[in-house]
Amino acid sequence: WIGRSCSLCGSWRRRRRKYPWHRQLSSSYHMGVPVPTLGLSSVLCAVVLTLALARNECPEHAGDGYDELMEYARSRKEASDASEAMACFKKAAEADRRRPEPWLNVGELYKLAGRLEEAEVALRKCVSLGPTWPLAHFNLANVLKDLDRNEESLAAYQEALELDPPFKAAIFNNMALVHGTLNQNDLVIASYEKAMRIDPRVPETHNNLASYYQAVGDMTNAVKHYKQAVQLKPDKGFLLNLAYALGAKGETAESLKVYMKTIEMFPDYALAYYNLGTSLMGEERYAESEYCYRWAVKLDGTRADYYNNLATVVGASGATHEVMEIYDIVLRLHPGHETAYCNMYHTKHEICDWSNVDSHLKKVVAIVNRQLKEGRVPTVRAFHALAYAVSADFVRRLSEAWSSLAEKEALMMVPKNFAFPMPPTSPAPRRIRVGYTSSDLKKQHPVAHLVTLLLFSGSLSCNDAAV
């Protein structure tokens, strides 16, 4: 299985979603050959493999016959020696030009190195030599998917299915991911259901279906399938997905329990501490949140997002000078970190540090304008921008962007076929009822106090009956 996690970068100034893990069934799972684990990020891993593959030499002691070359190449592949493995697979292909197996392995090594075009060439050779081998079509489809050639990818998956392979569930799983990319929503669900009918015990299928349901706002089904994935395999990524989905569904206490269980099972998993800290921050449990973030940066000090959120909770306690030091760390790790730069600028306002204020503001405005142009969520809140020397039109566009986001998120929470009740027109109501709701209307929020003063009767707690 090949997976990738996308973590949350959020703060009380800017909250961004946690995105679930999407796992694609890889060819190596069916071949029974483990993917080499180098302990590096996926990008750095690809760079290392690319540099390794540049040294294409097969040693003389590997032999000259096809079988001995293949055996030696497989042993080097299992030992994560991509250079010798690649060279010897190619030499084996020359030793017997009728065999597709060397080209399958060559294609896989190129794919792991991120050299997708060369992987496609190798796998097409494999398909031409073994047209009835479903795994060749399957691996080619995976590469075409990574190249964003989705229609060709679906055709290759279909060719693999027609050869009646024993891993049909994997094919339907990956086809669902492609249909999702093409916004073919009905086919997404249909593909996952076919995969589950073939083998309901594959946890990745339930996880991916849950991710799809989460993306379309169906949190009930998302939680259901995340739970099934966790029951089948208590994977740390599945557990984090379940925890987030429970939180998004409003089951905060259960969400926190799952995060704690994840940390108990995987005590060195920095992302679990990070996501738990973000959930606690949303509950205004800042001391506990800070504790989690400090553990996250201790376990993995390379992630700029971890330090960025730590700066947020430290700032909530008023330790503004430490906040500036933390933002310096964020920007050293990731000089283009938009959230950190904008939050740092706002912190400078709070501590009345006006050094280089014009150049900093110019960069903040440029960041936000780029985000608005690209349709992304801006990193500056409209009510924060009121304190900056910016135009009214800039504040207006910020307000529109945040209002649009709030509307989309509110609509996700409305059940299907729900009709909003309309107040009776007769007899006329004796009093006008005015209300204000917000996803982050907390006790310390400045808007909360303003609304309380304006309406005279307000609620700053979900348990408060005075609405």
The count of structural domains within the chain is 2
Q: Is residue 242 part of a domain?
A: no
Q: Is residue 24 part of a domain?
A: no
Q: Is residue 186 part of a domain?
A: no
Q: Is residue 143 part of a domain?
A: no
- Taking residue 130's Cβ as centre, other Cβ atoms within 10 Å add up to 18
Q: Is residue 97 part of a domain?
A: no
> What string of DSSP letters covers 377-441?
PPSS-HHHHTTSS--HHHHHHHHHHHHHHHHHHHHHTSPTT--PPPPP-SSPPSS-------TT-
pLDDT at position 350 is: 81
CB distance 27 to 142 below 8 Å: yes
Helices (H), 54-183: 66-78, 82-95, 101-112, 116-129, 134-146, 150-162, 168-181
Q: Is residue 443 part of a domain?
A: yes
Provide the sign of the torsion angle of the four alpha carbons 392, 397, 400, 405, taken in this order.
negative
pLDDT at position 417 is: 76
Q: Is residue 457 part of a domain?
A: yes
DSSP 283: T
pLDDT at position 465 is: 41
pTM to 2 decimal places: 0.70
Q: Is residue 455 part of a domain?
A: yes
> What string of DSSP letters covers 146-175?
HTT-HHHHHHHHHHHHHT--TTHHHHHHHH
Element (H, E) at 210: helix 203-215
Cα–Cα dist 2/287, whole Å: 36
pLDDT digits (tens, 9 = 90+) for 125-150: 999 999 999 999 999 999 999 999 99
Which residues form the domain of 440?
431-467
- Along the 467 residues of the chain, how does pLDDT read in single tens digits? 223 333 223 232 333 333 344 444 544 333 322 222 233 344 445 544 555 555 568 999 999 999 999 999 999 999 989 989 999 999 999 999 999 999 999 999 999 999 999 999 999 999 999 999 999 999 999 999 999 999 999 999 999 999 999 999 999 999 999 999 998 989 999 999 999 999 999 999 999 999 999 988 889 999 999 999 999 999 999 999 999 999 988 899 999 999 999 999 999 999 999 999 999 998 889 999 999 999 999 999 999 999 999 999 998 877 678 899 999 999 999 999 999 999 999 988 888 888 998 999 999 999 999 999 999 999 998 888 888 999 999 999 999 999 888 888 777 667 767 776 766 666 666 666 666 665 555 555 656 666 666 655 545 454 444 43
pLDDT at position 445 is: 60
CB distance 352 to 364 below 8 Å: no
pLDDT at position 95 is: 95
User: Any idea which residue has 């293949």 for tokens?
Assistant: 70
Provide the sign of the torsion angle of the four alpha carbons 41, 44, 50, 56, taken in this order.
negative
